[in-house]
Amino acid sequence: MKTYAGIDLHSSNNYIGIINDKDEKLFGKRLPNNLDNVLIALEPYKESLKGVVVESTYNWYWLVDGLKEHGYPMHLANPSAIKQYEGMKHTDDKWDSFWLAHMFRLGILPEGYIYPKEQRHVRDLLRRRLLFVRQRTTHILSFQSMVTRNLGIKISARAVKRTTKEEIQELFDSPYLVHAAKSSIATIGFLNTVIKGIEKEVLSQVKLQDEFELLQTIPGIGKILALTIMLETGTISRFEKVGN
């Protein structure tokens, strides 16, 4: 008998649903998010399981990695693509796990890519860098706006990054504006340090591939952007067609 498992994963708990090849429900239970609990629940079906499906929620790493390490064939469901089948399933969240298993059994499960664990953390560190870059941009724009609003002049982003505390003191006559400006400049400086630290760490750890050199031949793409594209793309062969 072939069996299929779906796991509806939440922030603190998960619901496991297991069906057979006749769509009969064999097991259904809500468990706290603990790998040992999940392993105990799946163990009786390990030999017959054709696959375990987990929806690609924000917190799937621990579960998918842990089950893969214990020999389970894992599949990551793409939640945005699943929407096309929503009208066919129960609306009760309790049944989501069975629905994932059902779609996998039918061969219609829209799957996501399980990015290799050994490279995923570096990719995620670069994503964190991007978050800090956006935050830095927010503070730069805020500083520029304050200067224009109060002084009627424009200041470039490059000039903002080079602005010193002494220059701020000369720019504004209000102690409150000076304090606000110094806070922005201090935050920008801190984020600059953090961003450069991440870039240094990533470049020293990542084994650069041929694609890295090719990407840098494109105008406007430097080392960090090339590295980001390379790590976000992963193995290019995972895309079925060029258009994907």
Given this model, what pLDDT does residue 162 score?
92
Helices (H), 8-116: 35-42, 61-69, 79-82, 96-106
Mean predicted confidence (pLDDT) in 112-129: 93
- Output the pLDDT for position 94: 65
Q: Name the least confident of 53-57, 114-118, 153-157, 234-238.
A: 234-238
Name 38's Cβ contacts closer than 8 Å, sequence gap at least 6: 7, 14, 16, 31, 63, 66, 67
Contact 180, 186 (CB under 8 A): no
The per-residue pLDDT for 127 is: 96
CA geometry: angle 22, 26, 27, nearest 5 deg:
145
CA distance 136 to 206: 25
Cβ neighbours of residue 65 under 8 Å, at least 6 residues apart? 117
- Residue 87 is predicted with a pLDDT of 53
Rounded Cα distance between 88 and 163, Å, is 59
Measured CA to CA in angstroms, residue 176 lies from 101, 135, 154, 169, 186 at distances of 60, 22, 20, 11, 15
**Average pLDDT along the chain:** 91
CB 35 within 8 A of CB 66: yes
> Residue 54 pairs with which residues in a beta bridge?
7, 76
- Residues 184 and 165: their CA atoms lie apart, in Å, by 11
- Decide: 75 and 51 in contact? Cβ < 8 Å: yes
pLDDT over 60 (residue 118): yes
pLDDT in tens, 39-95: 999 999 999 999 999 999 999 999 999 999 999 999 999 988 876 555 555 555 567
Residue 151 has pLDDT above 70, yes or no: yes
Which range among 3-12, 53-62, 76-85, 182-191 shows the weakest confidence by mean pLDDT? 76-85
The pLDDT of residue 236 is: 85
- 20-45 mean pLDDT: 97
Specify the pLDDT at position 10.
94
State the pTM of this model.
0.81
Other C-beta atoms closer than 10 Å to the C-beta of 156 total 10
- Please give the pLDDT value at position 145: 96
pLDDT at 143 exceeding the cut of 60: yes
